[in-house]
Structure 1
Amino acid sequence: MSYSPTIYKFADGGGAPVAPEMALVRAVLEPHDVGDPQLTVGEDGSLRFWIRASDDSEAEISADETGILVERPQTGGVFAIVAELVTKLGAVIIDPASGRAVCRAEEQTRLPADMREEAIVIDMTGDALEAALLGPRIAVGPSPRAAR
């Protein structure tokens, strides 16, 4: 089973998400796309990207009028790209493990009332987003045996 958080944009506490701005999605993700450019835009206007960060972490991202799916994000810099997208869209990301929204304070007020109290409010950076969704990274040094 893969881990795939979803990005949604809400407006004024409405219960249903609004369509993401596809031109903005494209502008943020295209510079990081390593997939086939001919497959980026579907016939229905949906978008599909295979993004890679400078540290070689990757994720597949697909977007349509209902929202944006971030498939199998790897730990690392790819979360900074996702955080940038969430921020520029004024959106939230839903943690599939808990069902809770992860967002900035600005977006918390736009969530449906039943989601506001449970929302995880963060500074929308790659490190903060990764920690909110996956837990903090533990620094791993050389094993005690390697030091001998």
Structure 2
Amino acid sequence: MNGWRDRMRPALAALAAVVLLAVGCTHPTAAPAPRPDPEPGTRPGTIARAELGDRLTVTAAVEQVITDNAFVVRDADLTDGTLLVLSTGPSAPAPPQLVTVVGTVVPFSHRDLATRYHLGPAGPYRTFEGGRALAAQEVTVWEREPPR
């Protein structure tokens, strides 16, 4: 009879382990999963959420033209309300035209970008120095409201 008990003891121990594993895998944990940090109030796709190198599309009103290749747009979704746009395309639009700009977020350094974009003197760019700018690949000027 001891032989039968000696054989059954490991089998019962294994059965108990299988039952515990099955119960542990089928019941949800008592503690709820942690929630992610709340999202900031800025909508996705704006310059405030964009990282350097991200492709971004912005629709905003032209506030100021600095040169044919550099202009400033203004919109409530933009960091500090304004954004410097750098373009190698045709002439810049005029204020207060509405534009849609598709481009890449770049760090702005007048020294590094002045030659490529023909920026002229550094004075008008001082407020943007060290911030982010949008290097435009495409600029669309709207005669009226853009489609939504």
TM-score (norm 1): 0.23
Report the structure number with the largest CA radius of gyration: 2
Bigger strand fraction: 2
Bigger relative contact order, structure 1 or 2, given CA contacts below 8 A and separation 6+? 1
